[in-house]
Structure 1
Amino acid sequence: MTTSQERRLGDRVAREMYRDLDYVDDPVIAEYVQGLWQPLLDAARARGELSAEMDQRYAWQVLLGKDRMINAFAVPGGWLGLQLGLINVTTSRDEIASVLAHELSHVTQRHISRIMAQESRQAPLVLVGMLLGMLAMSRNPEAGNAVITSTQAMSAQSGLNFSRDMEREADRIGYGVAVQAGFDPRSFASMFEKLQQASRHTDNASFPYLRTHPLNTERIADMQSRAQFAAGPATARATLEHALVVARSRAVSAPGVDEVRVLLTEAGTLQPSTPPTRRAAILYAGALAAARLRDFERADALVQQLRAMPQVQADPAGTRFARLLATEVALLAGQPARAQAALGDVAGTNSRAELLLWAQVRTATGGASDVAQRLQSWVALNKRDATAWQMLSAAYGVQGLQVRAVRADAEARAAQMDFSAALDRFRAAQDLARRGGPGADYIESSIIDSRTREVQSLLREQALER
């Protein structure tokens, strides 16, 4: 497979990931994960694992899912999926980075392409074995069946062996990438230990040759031996920022009301002896849970407790997380003025989490024109930010600029590769522009016409792929 073919295959999978009900774009968690992902990409480039062609052609994007399963996966073309359930069990940023480095190595080593090539090479041999088995059946049915069964079994076993080799390679290369990026070399072993504990099937070495992955015990021993010879001191630590990210992940991934209430109950039964970092995490998750249950008075009280903690006040990341949480709770409560006071001045920040919260607050407090101007600059540099496009559409809509609002909505759908829906919205924008709708001008109409043709071309390519 060429890199272009891999990218097209990955895009097909990514389209389904965007449509999945578990897909979630949480700006706070996504920004934290991106802060781990970017150093890994830089390290892969420095080590020569990431070729210039792959660097240019692939998406290199991590999509979050709110499933509580402890899982992450790589897709051809540079797409990665990370379930919040995996974040929920980590104790340091380095453990998340170890998983991302492993999955990144699956992509840089082109494992999907190599597996497909392996299968294509085996196909003629399997076909020959099947034909020989059918010929033998005319003389000895039992022998013929034995040949066919043996051929299928050898093919399956070869695939399993190849898969395990790929996993070992991703462990080895991912380890090197993570260490070069500055993450703790011990994090791989500790993450495998968590996977071992969470697995329903104990790795007791039963039938290891029937597994697609090496035994967790084998992988733990390998990573521990590598960490012993790693240069430099260990750097992993359970920071307040990571604890708050995990708390947020738990609240966002809670699948039902009962699970949300559990988080609120934990916040209401805190003991004085609870360690400060854990206490802050429980208060954070409890406040977000209370807001989801529409108990805003309780949510406000928990936020105030969180912000009053000396450990939070002394930690810049903790202070920021508490401020963003207070803003979010006020917005959910329908109090934009209070949200604006909680958020403060974020004019000079480049943080996506602050920007998107600010956009919601300013749109609700009469500053839609400011939002439109700032988000226009943002989406010009971040064309795949569907959430930003949606907020830009809302800001245009508040101003009555319907043509621009519909076009921004179309761009949001295109950013998530829902090209059929995007084309419908672009055509609606074209129709509004031709009728002289609000927000229509020559430049906007030209952009809409150009984007309509581009999306039509992408849809034709999809039809040819099918």
Structure 2
Amino acid sequence: MTDFKPKWPSRHTGKALAASLLIAFGVLQAPGIHAQPALPTLGDGLELTTSAERRIGDSIIRELYRDPDYVDDPVLQEYVQGIFQSLVVAARARGELSPELEERFAWEILLGRDRTVNAFALPGGYMGVHLGLIGVVASRDELASVMAHELSHVTQRHIARLMAQQQRTTPLMIGAMVLGALAASKSPNAGQALMVGGQALAVQNQLNFSRDMEREADRMGYGLMAPAGFAPEGFVSMFDKLQQANRLNDNGSWPYLRSHPLTTERMADMHARLPSGQASLSLPVATLEHAMLAARARVLSRPGIDLLRQWAAEPASTGFAAQPLPKRVAAWYAAALSQAQLRDWAGARRMLEPLRQAVQGDASALRQARLLAAEVELQAGQPEAALQLLPAAGGTRPELALRSQTLVRLGRGSDATSALETWLATHPQDATLWQLLASAWQQQGQPLRALRAEAEARAAHYDYAAAVDRFKAGQELARKRNGPNDYIEASIIDTRLRTVASRLREQAAER
């Protein structure tokens, strides 16, 4: 058995990651592998505590932050996190989210550049969403349906229950191996058959348990849709897309070897939940904002030069003018962003003009068009033009991040500092904005504050070793400086170093 290396599950379903967790934290160890320390238990001795589950999630997330596929795009992050928070609020209102769970879990979304249609739940309230999923869904309701399903895995503690179930099936596997070893003394083939048969029985029990969880997550997730402000029909239309995406390997064969119910079974269940008298599925309406952000996800998933060129040329194709407005808006957005990726700034600006005109009556879509225009100007080396497109103050994280980058580029880091510090006071886990603050302080000749901000950025991603290194560098620098501001900053660094060093020791002990 090899050590579990958390990665974005690029070519697997999200639940394959849960299966990997079972292997990683199972009690059965292969010969030569050191046994894992016992997991904290509660009640019947089989279920993880919420604190233990959060620690497991933190350890996995720490690896995902380092994965090249991890992406922090403020525009997409805000959109997906907003949908997720609406679902969390609905789960709380319906009594599906206990106060303990809400307090101890992270409730955080991570985006991955993977182009597959997938999302996955992790221990501790984390959720991974592939850009491929955002790029294929036709509406925010369809995206919400997938996230509602995964959220239900978290609120119902399915991962903890899977681990408990594996502990119950472990004696079956151990018994099969013992019987196999005894039988092998007479017949090697008989011994192998006994071991394989016993393991198959244990695995089958585990698969049956997982199928029940998938049905429960479907049912609970469907119930969250309307209270969260989403059309429940998005659940059914999303199942249609999943069936198309998996039609090559979801052809109905060997259903008893699946950890999920057949897609067709789940689709029938969702159709049965539609309001009585609704003969056919009413597809959720795609907003212009969603069309734009789905296009953004497709471009940022690194599809290759050929596809970027194809998207850049789409608005000039025959019959383009006859397409519905959401499709044209998505095409203009994808064309502008693709041209920017190809470093054709003039081409990107040409695509932005019809895009802005098309979304004039939609405030959310117009905001996205302005953000894209500012992004293009900044990438084109025109920070002054980018700043003209951004609000002087206020806005949410995308505006703050883009305006701070622009001000630093202009050598005006002092103008960005106050807004960044205000944001980070309430969002201390925002590593990207901590790094921007470090750049702003460095530009102002404040290396001690810059070092602290760099350390906070590392700590926000649970890289406590790197954070300790930065804090110690700050201590060393503080010894060489004697200003009053440096004394205050040095005191903050000393306090934070003790806290983060303690977390590093805990992290080492857990490993």
Find the aligned partners of 2:235 and 2:292 in 1 and give their Cα distance: 22
Q: 2:174 aligns with which of 123, 127, 133?
A: 127
Find the aligned partners of 2:217 and 2:72 in 1 and give their Cα distance: 27
Deviates more, 1:59-68 or 1:143-152: 143-152
Letter in 2 for 1:447: I
Change in 2 beyond 3 A, CA 1:201/1:373? same
- Does structure 1 residue 113 correspond to structure 2 residue 113? no
2:300 corresponds in structure 1 to 252
2:336 corresponds in structure 1 to 287
2:273 corresponds in structure 1 to 226
2:60 corresponds in structure 1 to 13
2:34 corresponds in structure 1 to none
Find the aligned partners of 2:108 and 2:223 in 1 and give their Cα distance: 21
- Does structure 1 residue 428 correspond to structure 2 residue 468? no
2:11 corresponds in structure 1 to none
2:38 corresponds in structure 1 to none
Find the aligned partners of 1:391 and 1:238 in 2 and give their Cα distance: 34
* Equivalent pair of 1:363/1:371 in contact (CA under 8 Å): yes
Find the aligned partners of 2:313 and 2:135 in 1 and give their Cα distance: 18
2:447 corresponds in structure 1 to 402
Report Cα offsets for 1:205-229 as digits up to 9, x if no partner: 2110011111111111111111234
Find the aligned partners of 1:449 and 1:7 in 2 and give their Cα distance: 27
SS at the partner of 1:272?
helix
* Equivalent pair of 1:404/1:440 in contact (CA under 8 Å): no
1:23 corresponds in structure 2 to 70
Note the C-alpha offset of 1:322: 1.0
1:63 corresponds in structure 2 to 110
* Equivalent pair of 1:95/1:188 in contact (CA under 8 Å): yes
Note the C-alpha offset of 1:346: 4.3
- Number of matched pairs: 461
Q: 2:421 aligns with which of 373, 376, 389?
A: 376
Find the aligned partners of 2:306 and 2:215 in 1 and give their Cα distance: 40
Change in 2 beyond 3 A, CA 1:437/1:137? same
* Equivalent pair of 1:393/1:405 in contact (CA under 8 Å): yes
Q: Report sequence identity in percent.
A: 55
Change in 2 beyond 3 A, CA 1:137/1:301? closer
* Equivalent pair of 1:160/1:210 in contact (CA under 8 Å): yes
1:242 corresponds in structure 2 to 290
Note the C-alpha offset of 1:424: 1.3
Deviates more, 1:265-274 or 1:276-285: 265-274
Letter in 2 for 1:152: Q
Q: 1:47 aligns with which of 70, 89, 94?
A: 94
Deviates more, 1:299-308 or 1:327-336: 299-308
Find the aligned partners of 2:195 and 2:341 in 1 and give their Cα distance: 58
1:174 corresponds in structure 2 to 221
The gaps in structure 1 that reach 5 residues or longer are none
Q: Map residues 269-418 of structure 1 onto 2, 5 A cutoff.
A: 269=317, 271-309=320-358, 312-343=359-390, 345-349=391-395, 351-418=396-463
Find the aligned partners of 1:332 and 1:166 in 2 and give their Cα distance: 46
* Equivalent pair of 1:402/1:439 in contact (CA under 8 Å): no
Find the aligned partners of 1:464 and 1:267 in 2 and give their Cα distance: 57
* Equivalent pair of 1:71/1:82 in contact (CA under 8 Å): yes
* Equivalent pair of 1:183/1:235 in contact (CA under 8 Å): no
User: After TM superposition, what 4+ stretches of structure 1 lie above 4 angstroms from structure 2?
Assistant: 136-146, 437-440
Report Cα offsets for 1:284-316 as digits up to 9, x if no partner: 11111111111111111111221122xx11111
- Does structure 1 residue 444 correspond to structure 2 residue 493? no
* Equivalent pair of 2:207/2:257 in contact (CA under 8 Å): yes
* Equivalent pair of 2:92/2:98 in contact (CA under 8 Å): yes
Note the C-alpha offset of 1:126: 2.8
Note the C-alpha offset of 1:250: 1.2
* Equivalent pair of 1:70/1:86 in contact (CA under 8 Å): yes
Letter in 1 for 2:297: S
Letter in 2 for 1:396: W
Letter in 2 for 1:218: E
Find the aligned partners of 1:223 and 1:426 in 2 and give their Cα distance: 53
Change in 2 beyond 3 A, CA 1:320/1:5? same
Letter in 1 for 2:312: L
The gaps in structure 2 that reach 5 residues or longer are 1-47
SS at the partner of 2:114?
coil
CA RMSD of aligned residues (A): 2.0
Letter in 1 for 2:285: R
- Does structure 1 residue 209 correspond to structure 2 residue 256? yes
Change in 2 beyond 3 A, CA 1:122/1:272? closer
Find the aligned partners of 1:34 and 1:438 in 2 and give their Cα distance: 42
Change in 2 beyond 3 A, CA 1:382/1:235? farther
Change in 2 beyond 3 A, CA 1:178/1:230? farther
Note the C-alpha offset of 1:134: 3.6
* Equivalent pair of 2:408/2:440 in contact (CA under 8 Å): yes
Change in 2 beyond 3 A, CA 1:437/1:297? farther
Given the two structures, how large is their TM-score scaled by the length of structure 2? 0.86
Change in 2 beyond 3 A, CA 1:329/1:150? same
* Equivalent pair of 2:243/2:263 in contact (CA under 8 Å): yes
Deviates more, 1:82-91 or 1:135-144: 135-144
Q: 2:140 aligns with which of 57, 81, 93?
A: 93
Report Cα offsets for 1:133-152 as digits up to 9, x if no partner: 44455567665554333211
Find the aligned partners of 1:364 and 1:142 in 2 and give their Cα distance: 70
Letter in 2 for 1:401: Q
* Equivalent pair of 2:407/2:416 in contact (CA under 8 Å): yes
Letter in 2 for 1:335: Q
Change in 2 beyond 3 A, CA 1:393/1:144? closer
* Equivalent pair of 1:400/1:438 in contact (CA under 8 Å): no
Letter in 2 for 1:246: A
1:73 corresponds in structure 2 to 120
SS at the partner of 2:127?
strand
- Does structure 1 residue 463 correspond to structure 2 residue 511? no
Note the C-alpha offset of 1:187: 1.0
Deviates more, 1:296-305 or 1:74-83: 296-305
Q: 1:152 aligns with which of 199, 217, 221?
A: 199
2:32 corresponds in structure 1 to none
Report Cα offsets for 1:255-295 as digits up to 9, x if no partner: 33223222212234362212222111111111111111111
Report Cα offsets for 1:366-387 as digits up to 9, x if no partner: 4322211111010010001111
2:230 corresponds in structure 1 to 183
Find the aligned partners of 2:337 and 2:192 in 1 and give their Cα distance: 61
